[in-house]
Amino acid sequence: MSPTSSTDATGSATPTLTVTDNRTGQTYELPIENGSIRAMDLRQIKVDEGDFGLLAYDPGFKNTANTRSTVTFIDGDEGILRYRGYPIEQLAESSNFLEVAYLLIHGELPDRDQYDAWDHEITHHTFIHENLKQFMDGFHHDAHPMGMLVSTVGALSTFYPEAKGLDDPDARHMQIIRLIAKFPTLAAFAYRHSIGMRYAYPDNDLSFSGNFLNMMWKTTELKYEPDPVLERAMDALLILHADHEQNCSTTTMRAIGSSDADPYSAAAGAAAALYGPKHGGANEAVLRMLNEIGSVDNVADAVKAAKNGEFRLMGFGHRVYKNYDPRAKVIQGLAHEVFEVTGKNPLLDIAVELEQIALEDEYFVERKLYPNVDFYSGIIYQAMGFPTSMFPVLFAMGRIPGWLAHWQENLLDDEQAIVRPRQLFVGEDERDYVGIEDR
Ligand code: SDX
């Protein structure tokens, strides 16, 4: 029977997957919804009544959807990224980070009053409790700023016990404001500690990104005045990092939130996941890689070594994008604006040459490995004066609204439950204990 617009090949109004278990000859009809089947529908497929039923085995969740979400849409083949339906290119061009944070969390762009209230609330929550400085001061002089950030974000939960009131929308709103507002302060304080400089406090007269640059770079001037080009570039970079659907750190945020832990503890876990060089730590790894390559003349040999598996081309490849990461394209454009002010970062030539050779090489083409968001971002950050150790911290600062949007979406989703996957046990069967003398 040929499918009509409202039925599938079996004539069913709900599209179904017919599965035959050849162990028993049994056939099952599994409903297909949103291009997926429910993993729980596999459990009915058994050999006998005592059987647990079939599981889906998916290391790294490469083909598993764990949620329905309305926050961010990515089409990896087409290189499309939209926050709440708005293309990333338009937001990077015309919006600002606080407005994008509002969009991600509330689902709509704010009107003027909503924006002004949001901006005012965040601006007036940038200070951290003075005791938190003692946490910062306790770190070794060469502590990695990301390790400091993970620890102090988690410590925030001890200052706001009301954050456990997850059912109260006002309490959730307050913690969302605090986390967005205090991340830059913690980030800048971590940097200032690492260079032995006193902390520069927030300046409420400045924009979100301008104030971050103030807390990073202020020295003896009475009032720090950010360079408008660098302020704008910082803001655009934060927009580009603000969300990316179910990436490793966001999934971590959802998983921790699923146990009803407070959002500060969840954000600390998400930041810890982001720290990994396969994820948000890649921008730092890209700069190390480009410095090791050292010159444009060495690029061809570096690509050969990457193809031989001697090292991973950091900033290349992506679980979802099998096309150019749209964020990398926008960042390339930003690089030229920043270099007008800072002078060109010589590593850019090596990066461009590396991209050129890789994109023409069969190894990368057949694996659909393109530059991702981390490939060019570090080159800009370095030109703006940030040490490489601060790169994952900048990534986290951008990503906090995305983490919070997904944390809240997960909390409010009646379908969700505490994250507790199954396993395929392939270990030892039962065996008796043997005393050490007899082993
Ligand atoms: C981010 O998920 C997100 O959305 C993340 C992110 C976000 O905004 O949150 O976009 C941010 O994390 C970007 C990615 C930053 N990481 C890097 O740049 C590190 C280098 N990239 C790789 O480690 C890798 O590409 C991953 C981790 C990003 C993706 O890994 P997958 O999807 O598990 O792919 P894979 O490791 O299975 O690789 C597939 C093949 C393998 O070859 P074969 O074993 O099939 O022969 O491609 C190869 C890999 O060896 N490969 C690479 C490569 N990345 C993958 N070979 C050389 N250089 C690379 N960078």
Average pLDDT over residues 316-322: 89
> What separation in Å is there between the alpha carbon of 312 and the centre of ligand 1?
9
Atom of ligand 1 nearest to the CA of 307: 57
pLDDT above 80: residue 12: no
Sequence-separated (6 or more) residues with CB below 8 Å from residue 269: 252, 253, 255, 256
- Which position has the higher pLDDT, 161 or 270? 270
Our answer on whether the CB atom of 246 is closer than 6 Å to any ligand 1 atom is no
Q: How far, CA to CA in Å, does 439 sit from each of 95, 300, 434, 436?
A: 68, 55, 7, 5
- Mean pLDDT, the chain, integer: 94
Ligand 1 pocket, 345 CB below 6 A?
no
- In the reported structure, the alpha carbon of residue 316 is separated from the centroid of ligand 1 by a whole-number distance in angstroms of 7
pLDDT in tens, 374-404: 999 999 999 999 999 999 999 999 999 999 9
Instruction: State how far the alpha carbon of 241 is from the alpha carbons of 120, 153, 325, in Å.
Output: 23, 19, 12
User: Is residue 318 helix, strand or coil?
Assistant: coil
- The residue contributing the CA closest to ligand 1 atom 4 is 247
Around Cβ 60, how many Cβ atoms within 10 Å? Answer: 8
Element (DSSP H or E) covering residue 204: none
374 is catalytic: yes
Kindly give, in sequence order, each residue whose CB lies less than 8 Å from that of residue 234, ignoring residues fewer than 6 positions away: 209, 212, 213, 384
| 425: DSSP letter | -
Would you say the CB of residue 373 lies under 6 angstroms from ligand 1?
A: yes
Active site residue 318: yes
Phi, psi of 343 (to 5 degrees): 90, 150
Name the strand (E) or helix (H) holding 36: none
- Phi-psi domain of 107 (left: phi exceeds 0; alpha: psi -120 through 50; beta: other): left
The dihedral built from the CA positions of residue 50, 56, 57 and 60, taken in this order, carries a sign that is: negative
Residue 5 clears pLDDT 60, i.e. is over it:
no
User: 305 CA to middle of ligand 1, Å?
Assistant: 16
> Predicted confidence band at 2 (pLDDT cuts at 50, 70, 90)?
very low
Under 8 Å between Cβ of 157 and 265: yes
- pLDDT tens for residues 186-225? 999 999 999 999 999 999 999 999 999 999 999 999 999 9
Name which of 193-207, 235-249, 319-333 the model is least confident about: 319-333
404, amino acid identity: L
**What pLDDT is attached to residue 113?**
98
274 lines ligand 1 (CB under 6 A): no
Domains of the chain, residue spans: 92-416
Q: For residue 396, what are its two tokens?
A: 């986290």
Which pLDDT belongs to residue 1?
38
DSSP state of 371: B
Is a pLDDT exceeding 70 seen at residue 94?
yes
What confidence category does residue 6 fall into, taking pLDDT thresholds of 50, 70 and 90?
low
- According to DSSP, the residues that pair with 252 across neighbouring strands are none
Pocket test residue of 278, 299, 324, 355 for ligand 1, highest count of atoms within 8 A of CB: 278
244 close to ligand 1 (CB < 6 Angstrom):
yes
193 is catalytic: no
The pLDDT, as a whole number, for residue 9 is 72
For domain 92-416, give the fold: Citrate Synthase; domain 1 (1.10.580)
Q: How confident is the model at residue 7 (pLDDT cuts 50, 70, 90)?
A: low
Q: Which of 136, 198, 131, 199 is nearest to 159 (CA)?
A: 131
